Amino acid sequence: MKYLLVHQDDEGQDEFWGRCAGVEGMFVDKVPPPREVLTLRGCSPEGLLRDALSPAGESTGLLGDVCVEVWDEEQPLQWWNLVDSVVVAHQPNSHDPTLVDVVVGAGVEEEHAWSHTLPATPRFKLFAGGSVAAASAGDCLAVDGLFVTRGGTPSTPLRLVGCEPAEPLLAVLRRPRKFDHDWVQLCALDCTGRVMYRHNVYVRIETARPSVLGGSLLDIKLTDGGDDRPPLLARPIWEMWYRGVPTTRNQWAPLSAQGRSQWLDLTATGMSEQGPDRSGGVHHLDGTYVTDIPGVHCAMAEALLGPGRYYGREWNAFKDCLHGGFGMAAPFTLIWHQADIARQALAGDIWDTEKGLTYFEEIVHLLERFGVTVDLLGGDGL
């Protein structure tokens, strides 16, 4: 059996619901939302948005993913993600020529429909650069086209193959489908029986029939497997991890940035197994393959804790790890070999727009603020 079904009650206690031999539909590429045209009214552009509006000939107008938050006087009320945004046109704002109106084309993702009352003077804050290194892109006074009714994305089913249900799941199978609102944690196991990934899914059962594997097993089809399933490219990465936690360094190196992010997700499952914090010593980071932000964290975790270990997936999580509780705490010395590779590869990933610091520079400064001695060596070891 490769998967366990576990339900957690209101008191945080785990209850065994069953196990199954396989799952079909675990890996699904996200369907992009339909393209829309929106107008960002009265913008004070910063960062990527400012660069996209530059009159320089090299500007392409490409913004990538942009997060839009609507704020009242104190806090954000809701956010939207504008996927694969591109500037279509821009012009001075008619009421205030110091501001700019920006027309963008994008797919719009929203976690839930707008249900608030728009403040008398709302603020729309913009963040661009992707979820890993999103930085301020400025703000605006309004966004035309944002508050519209959108259809939900079509559901993609999940099939539990060769399922051996325990009594709680049998009870769900016996009751009408309209009452199936329980959720379970689908735990993927490696060949040693260790949990290598956890995925939450609602138990909304469409069909349950005798399994193709025979015996008393069942094949259960769930109407929707959830929105946060791993992409198709994660399948071969899971196959690597199915053999057990990696013990060889740089197995993540041939992967794309997205693949490296999936690798980091698998390391995160075992963060509670890393034992008490250690301090001190000299740790060597192999910078040969650090060509993107996920690569920074793959190599960092290997340098501090070893292959297959977790030490943050992005800046905020990395900062949490430096506070302690994840197997390594300052002070210690980090020797970053071939640091110029990361320095050059991340030169365009500006993390601190006010200071002009790249993601690489911010990581180094963060380490030093926590008392880590960082020694950056170039390609020649100097």
**One pLDDT digit (tens) per residue for the chain, 382 residues:** 899 999 987 777 889 999 999 999 999 998 889 999 999 999 999 988 988 887 654 456 888 899 999 998 888 999 999 999 999 999 999 999 999 999 999 999 987 888 888 888 899 999 987 555 567 899 999 999 999 988 777 788 999 999 999 999 998 888 755 555 688 999 999 999 999 999 999 998 999 999 999 999 999 999 989 878 999 999 999 999 999 999 999 999 999 999 999 999 999 998 888 789 999 999 999 999 999 999 999 999 999 999 999 999 999 999 999 999 999 999 999 999 999 999 999 998 777 667 778 999 999 999 999 999 999 997 544 4
Q: What fold, for 245-376?
A: Barnase; Chain D (3.30.370)
Q: Both tokens of residue 29?
A: 């590429």
Note the pTM of the prediction, 2 decimals.
0.81
Domain boundaries, the chain: 3-28+153-222, 35-144, 245-376
CA distances in angstroms from 37 to 145, 289, 327, 382, listed in the order given = 7, 39, 47, 51
177-195 burial, b for 16+ CB within 10 Å, e for fewer? eeebeeebbbbbbbeeeeb
